[in-house]
Amino acid sequence: MNKEVFITKLSKYLPNKAISNDLMEKYLGIIDNKPSLARRIVLKNNGILSRYYALDENGKTTHSNTDLTSLAVLVLLDKNFTKKNIQLLSCGTTSPDQLLPSHAAMVHGAIKGESIELASFSGACCSGIQALKFGYLSVLAGNSNNAVCTGSERISRWLLAKNFERETENLHLLHENPYLAFEKDFIRWMLSDGAGAALLQNTPSSHMSLKIEWLDITSYANELETCMYAGAEKQKDASLSGWSEFESQQWLNKSIFSLKQDVKLLSENIVNFGCLYLKEILNKRKLNINDINYFLPHLSSMFFKKKIFDALTEAKIPIPEEKWFTNLTKVGNVGAASAYLMLEELLYSGKLKKGDKILLMVPESARFSYAYSLLTVC
């Protein structure tokens, strides 16, 4: 198999205007008429200065996930590559608009075009990369000559204060602390909305392209318990009880559908296992870390930047800080879209030159999955 796969174009769609830290509760709302105790602490640690929500100032929806994704795809298209040329659409997201149909089917319905093959991936941050890998393997195998791959999130509606009102009301009735549990409040200040798209083809464009050398993904769910979850409740034995196991009234009383993050489990494992997997890949791929020109880590928080830097240094695979590239502080943590947003900004920044090597890293805390990809500028 001598086929090659290139990212020939990247695009993004970020809804509305950038929202500063001070305006977040104006959009998301205040729970129990009390400003969040966790907000300032979380924002200080995560370093995010602005983000985008598919909401207006009254918390009303301006875009669905389907809207965001289809708009990113449409930005990708031009007179040389129209929607009629798409052979495969592969989409990944944490936050589809519905359980059925699949997210990719809804995006296809929005962009129209021809009858094409679809693939949908659900999960968390790695779902966007899983969508990219499916497109990569399709073109590599000759199943298609091109693929449009996306990563997107419309998570803001999950974070609205009104979603937690019934839970805090019940806490009042029980005379317990009415403040939302940190595992739920923490995540409200971490996530935001947006979409990215990549066009994969079997030949490079006349402009700058990114050759996908390889894309490796693994899971440590065989070793580690669930860390981030939604639509479920975690039990004392670390198992999950899914939403269908609860009565409909409990969905509200327990905020079953809210995102929860076990911060202790996150801090103990997310960096160490990511470093372990990178060492395995470097050995398998015979890659010298010094040959990397740009390192693009998907960071959920700037809090982890130094921890990753120190862990790589301790593992004797250091990556100098001047090689790091991230846009977390200005676009926020957009989950499955984050890798696309970093690549899009770097590709069109004017910084790259032919022959540059880019190492992309995407960790996913849901149950500890990791993705790494090596790209060559051509």
3-state secondary structure of 11: strand
Name residue 296's beta-bridge partners: 360
- Which one-letter DSSP state was computed for residue 355? T
Spatial separation of the C-alpha atoms in residues 205 and 226, rounded to whole Å: 42
Structure tokens at 310: 């120190």
Superfamily (CATH) of domain 213-224+258-377: Thiolase/Chalcone synthase (3.40.47.10)
pLDDT of residue 169: 56
CATH (residue range 5-206): 3.40.47.10
3-state secondary structure of 276: helix
Q: What's the pTM value of the predicted model, to 2 decimals? A: 0.95
Spatial separation of the C-alpha atoms in residues 276 and 262, rounded to whole Å: 21
Domain segments of the chain: what residues? 5-206, 213-224+258-377
pLDDT of residue 226: 98
Q: In a structure prediction context, what are the per-residue pLDDT tens digits for the chain, which is 378 residues long?
A: 568 999 999 999 999 999 999 999 999 999 878 888 788 888 999 999 999 999 999 999 999 999 999 999 999 999 999 999 999 999 999 999 999 999 999 999 999 999 999 999 999 999 999 999 999 999 999 999 999 999 999 999 999 988 877 655 554 444 444 444 567 778 899 999 999 999 999 999 999 999 999 999 999 999 999 999 999 999 999 999 999 999 999 998 888 999 999 989 999 999 999 999 999 999 999 999 999 999 999 999 999 999 999 999 999 999 999 999 999 999 999 999 999 999 999 999 999 999 999 999 999 999 999 999 999 999
What are the angstrom distances between the C-alpha of 361 and each of 82, 181, 255, 352, 364? Answer: 30, 30, 32, 18, 10
Contacts of 120 (CB under 8 A, 6+ apart): 90, 91, 92, 96, 102, 103, 104, 105, 131
pLDDT of residue 187: 85
Q: Which residue has the tokens 């990178």?
A: 278
Cα 355–chain centre separation: 27
Planar angle of CA 16, 301, 59, nearest 5 degrees: 30
